[in-house]
Amino acid sequence: MDVDSQPSMEETILVGDDLMMGPPSPLIPPEIASHVLEGVDLCDGILRNLFLCLQINDIEPFCQDEIALYRQCAEKRDKELRQRLQDSELKLGLSIPLDEAKDRAAQLQLGVTSLERHLILASGIGGMEGFRQRWSLNGRLQDTRKRLEYLNQGMERRKKEEPVGGSTTKRWFFW
């Protein structure tokens, strides 16, 4: 059998920049970090193995398994973290006092505005450094917008569930 007659399979060599596919890992606010991170595989063992492989071999083509494993783990981790962040914001919108929820929404909106401005400024930076900044800022902007959206959904649900026009305080009468 002729080797050339068999269909060849292109081999893709992964490099560090391939880890920048899709959005960057979400930033977790410190006030909800313990709840959001609980039970999530942070991929630290796989990352440690990847760095060890790169340290030993010095070039990426010899660490293909480690890069692929880390990429797969990071994608799963980031998806889970984003969902937990959104769930946390929804729960906060439902449970914290309305004034605090409005303050939090205002802070998130300020964060969105700031990230949009930084993204505009980063559009003037060329090369790989400009790409990395825009990639990071765009990911953070999308995550912050989603968090704000879920917080607002929680506040809206609360408004629908609360009685209209009535005071939420109970009155007690002692005879």
Q: pLDDT by residue (tens digit) across 66-89? A: 999 999 999 999 999 999 999 999
Please name which of 94, 112, 110, 97 lies closest in space to residue 151, comparing C-alpha atoms.
94
Say whether 6 sits in a helix, a strand or coil: coil
What gap in Å lies between CA 58 and CA 36, rounded to an integer?
Answer: 35
Q: Using pLDDT thresholds of 50, 70 and 90, give the confidence band for residue 8.
A: very low
Cβ atoms within 10 Å of 9's Cβ, excluding its own: 6
What gap in Å lies between CA 170 and CA 148, rounded to an integer?
Answer: 32
- The encoded tokens of residue 155 equal 């506040």
What gap in Å lies between CA 74 and CA 18, rounded to an integer?
Answer: 12
Percent of the chain at pLDDT exceeding 90: 71
Predicted TM-score (pTM) above 0.95: no
Q: 59 vs 19, 50, 55, 102, CA distance in Å?
A: 15, 11, 8, 50
